[in-house]
Amino acid sequence: MNEPLPVVVLISGRGSNLHSILDAIADGELPVEIRAVISNRPDAPGLQRPALLGIRTIVIDHACYASRAAFEAVLRTTIDTFEPELLVLAGFMRILAPEFVTHYRGRILNIHPSLLPEFPGLNTHQRALDAGNRESGATVHFVTPETDGGPAILQARVPVLADDDARSLAQRVLNQEHRILPLAIRWFAEGRLRLDAEGRVILDGAPLETPRMLLPSAREPA
């Protein structure tokens, strides 16, 4: 039996996507070991559950550093002490410098609340509503130096309803985030998913020309 994949997770807030990873581990569906959860905010509620589970939790408050470079130097050193094979950004609300991202090239995943390449950055749900989109969704992608610009791996769509506001749309999208992030991590842990030297997503030995789409209620993409 293969050893669980060592993982470090970065969060900034509630940690709901972290909870989805922990649930999948508890259910025996995700062969990973979370070695540490790191937050850049000392008041992040998402630190509570992993601490109760005996997972190492660490705060590296970005506000305590004079520059982004100083913050990221400590963050990188701390992450590397746990020797992770995968770094997961699960609601980590800091833009990371190209040098930091390059250090973890091919082994850093992010979850984003839109159907990338639409609406990178913040305020995705209001922007989708303002644009009159009839659907929205979430994307798991490899992280590259371009913010939210790394190659997409897996997506899930949701309808935009006539009476939606940003809050109601966000909740519908978040439900899909909780489905697709653990699945993409599982693919990586099982050796099915990687980023090649040309920056292409390779899934099951073949280049992924477009992101896989997880259908409603399906456990695997169509």
Angle at 38 between CA 84 and CA 52, to 5 degrees: 100
Please tell me which residue in 19, 62, 103, 112 is annotated as part of the active site: 112
178 in active site: no
The residue to which tokens 């900034």 are assigned: 12
Neighbours of 122 (CB within 10 A): 10
Neighbours of 58 (CB within 10 A): 15
- The DSSP string of 22-45 is HHHHHTT---EEEEEEEESSTT-G
> Which residues are paired to 157 by β-bridges?
137
Neighbours of 146 (CB within 10 A): 10
Residues belonging to the active site: 112
